[in-house]
Every structure is written in C-alpha cells, then in structure tokens.
Amino acid sequence: MAYDNNNIFAKILREEIPCKKIYEDDFVLSFYDINPQKKIHALVIPKGKYVDLDDFAVNASNDEIVGLIKGINIVAKKLNISADIGKGYRALANISEHGGQEVPHLHFHLFGGEKVGKMVQ
C-alpha cells in the first residue's frame, strides 16, 4: 500500500491539526490517543512515512528503527508506566486489515495506568 500523505497522523506531523503532545525527538512523535481505551493511552509514531510495521521493517533505516524502539521506552518512562519505574504497560501495533489498523501511518499504542486485561478479545 502506498503511503497516504493525507492520513491524520501525517497532518499531525505537519502540525496541520493539533495533538496533545507527550514527547518528540528526531525520530518519533508521541501524543495522547483522542479516544482513550485505558487510563493511559498514548501513541508513538515514527516521523518517517511508513504505512505499518511491515513497511517500517523493510524500508526504515537502522537509526529510525532504533529511534522508534527507544522512543517507546522514553515515553513509557515519561508516563511512569515503564517496568522499571512503574507497573508496566502494553505496546501494540495494529497492522493492515486483519490487524484492525485504521490510520495508515505506523503507530504503537501504549496502554497503561491500570491492568490492561486480555491480550485479544
């Protein structure tokens, strides 16, 4: 699938629409999900134009891949949900149709602040 420059997260990255920003660096932007499913529901997205995790794995640079993984950990620490300073969380990426992905720009959901329940319902 080709990357859609008009997806909502592309617009957030271009600052055409606002977000409740949590963290930003050269590789990632993190902000709160507009429709939280748990007490804490954050999103972490790469700044590069990647449709999903498969696209990212094949086409992202090593620096981008490291930057995204590190970014998830930095955000978890900022939110006090990382395993070392909090009680843990779930990081989840939906991929394409069967994965239930709605926004076609790779993103990880970070759910925490409470027990997040069964992995798949």
> What residues are annotated to the active site?
107
In DSSP notation, 45-84 reads: EESS--SSHHHHHHHS-HHHHHHHHHHHHHHHHHTT-STT
Among the candidate windows 45-53, 82-90, 97-105, 111-119, which touches ligand AMP by CB under 6 A?
Answer: 97-105
Nearer to ligand AMP, 26 or 102 (CB): 102
Distance CA 78, CA 76 (A): 5
- If one asks whether residue 73 binds ligand AMP (CB under 6 A), the answer comes out as no
User: Is residue 58 within 8 Å of 51, Cβ to Cβ?
Assistant: no
- If one asks whether residue 54 binds ligand AMP (CB under 6 A), the answer comes out as no
**Which residue among 102, 118, 119, 120 contacts ligand AMP (CB under 6 A)?**
102
Residue (of 97, 98, 100, 78) closest to 89 by Cα position: 78
- If one asks whether residue 103 binds ligand AMP (CB under 6 A), the answer comes out as yes
**Which residue among 7, 73, 96, 101 contacts ligand AMP (CB under 6 A)?**
101
